[in-house]
Amino acid sequence: MRQRDTRAPAMRRRRALVRALAAGLTAPLAAAAQAWPAVHDRPLPMRPLPIRLLLAYPPGGVSDEMARLLADGLAGRLHTPVRVEHRPGAGGVAAMEALARATPDGHTLCYCAISPLVIAPWLGRPAYDATRDFQPVATVMHTPVLVLATRAAPFADLHGALALARREPGRLRWASSGLATVGHLVMEQVAAGAGVHITHVPYKGGGQQLTDALGGQFELLSSNVAAQQLRYLAEGRLGAIAVGAPGRLPVLPDVPTLAELGHPDANLVSTFAIFAPAGLAAERLQRLNQAINETLAEAALHGRIVASNNLPGGGPAEALARQIETERERHRVPLLRLRDGR
């Protein structure tokens, strides 16, 4: 009679134990592999590489708030930390130059207005190719542009401002948050439409610009609509004389649009978006776009955008790319004339 092999059950138990241990050891690796989209190889346990979200503007203000809310949403959806890094300067050009040098692996993104891609290339020589060095990912929001008068202004409306510019060419000083920004273009389009010379006062972002506006360092400024500006309007420290927007803002129903005042070419809004370096893999682009759109649909971010009198963005990356191409061509002729002094 054949003797039963009593070792078989023990061997099976040992093999099952080995399989269980192997599954337990590889589970963190599998989870990490699904994190966005790469991981540190040392030390264990493996940790997802963070995403650097370059912010083209100084700390504080609406852009900073929106970038951080967006970063929180992306971190939860992509299972990796998202760190906001401020790269202000030259109306967003400095941040986009840094982005152009980054590896297109999805770990470096930039939150910026589209002006460095549609305005700056016609006015200067940025250290990037606006048509080839970037991948538009998703629109975040559209921001109306306010034209505000300071206490230095000896006029009450845009008509009075332009009358001053005609009487004394160059006397009227108009500040913006930087060269080649939408606020700068608003000023240039108004000047061109009225046939007057206005002195442009560029800043590196909006913080110091607002401080100097309250001190009466110039007569007019272009500024994105935000809670701080609205508070200064309510306190009478600044005066709103026009807005760039599709229609009058509900929060400022008595302030006419630039189109209403006879300056349709100056009736512009600022579009803010997320960009990646060119060469980002299609599947990573799609995943980022989806994560941004889902975050924009959340009450926290959507509510803040609406509450700050901005218009929520969203949509496919292709739509943002088409908008950039259209606006770049739309502004080409007037900006080249401005650059060449014609």
Q: What are the pLDDT digits (tens) for 87-121?
A: 998 889 999 999 999 999 999 999 999 999 999 99
CATH 3.40.190.150 domain position(s) in the chain: 51-143+269-340
Give the chain's largest Cα–Cα span: 121
**Would you place residue 26 in the very low, low, confident or very high pLDDT band (cuts 50, 70, 90)?**
very low
Q: What's the whole-number mean pLDDT along residues 281-305?
A: 95
Give the model's confidence band at 21: pLDDT under 50 very low, under 70 low, under 90 confident, else very high. Answer: very low
Question: What separation in angstroms does the CA of 176 have from each of 87, 103, 183, 340?
Answer: 18, 32, 5, 20
Residue 332 pLDDT class (50, 70, 90 cuts): confident
Count of CB atoms situated within 10 Å of the CB of 197: 13
Evaluated on CA atoms 156, 157, 161, 163, the torsion sign reads negative
Report the C-alpha gap between 336 and 191 in whole angstroms. Answer: 15
Average pLDDT, the chain: 88
pLDDT over threshold 70, residue 23: no
Are the C-beta atoms of 97 and 67 separated by less than 8 Å? no
Q: Is the peptide bond before 104 cis (omega within 30 degrees of 0)?
A: no
Residue 17's pLDDT is: 55
Give the span between the Cα atoms of 313 and 320, in whole angstroms.
10
Over residues 293-298, mean pLDDT: 96
d(CA 93, CA 113): 10
Domain with CATH 3.40.190.10 in the chain: 144-266
pLDDT at res. 204: 77
d(CA 105, CA 191): 43
Instruction: Give me the pLDDT at residue 226, please.
Output: 84
- 51-143+269-340 classified as CATH 3.40.47.10: no
Determine contact, residues 184/202, Cβ cutoff 8 Å: yes
Beta strands in the chain (DSSP E): 51-55, 82-86, 108-113, 134-149, 173-176, 199-202, 220-224, 239-244, 269-277, 311-312
Number of residues that this document lists for the chain: 342
Average pLDDT over residues 154-159: 97
Say how far apart CA 317 and CA 244 lie, in whole Å.
Answer: 25
CATH class of 144-266: alpha beta
Average of per-residue pLDDT across 228-248: 95
How many of the other CB atoms lie within 10 Å of CB of 268? 22
The Cα 27–Cα 32 span in angstroms is: 8
Among the residue ranges 22-36, 66-80, 196-210, the one predicted with the least confidence is 22-36
Indicate whether 29 pLDDT > 60.
no
Q: Does pLDDT of 40 surpass 80?
A: no
pLDDT of residue 242: 98
Residue 151 phi, psi dihedral angles, 5° rounding: -70, -15
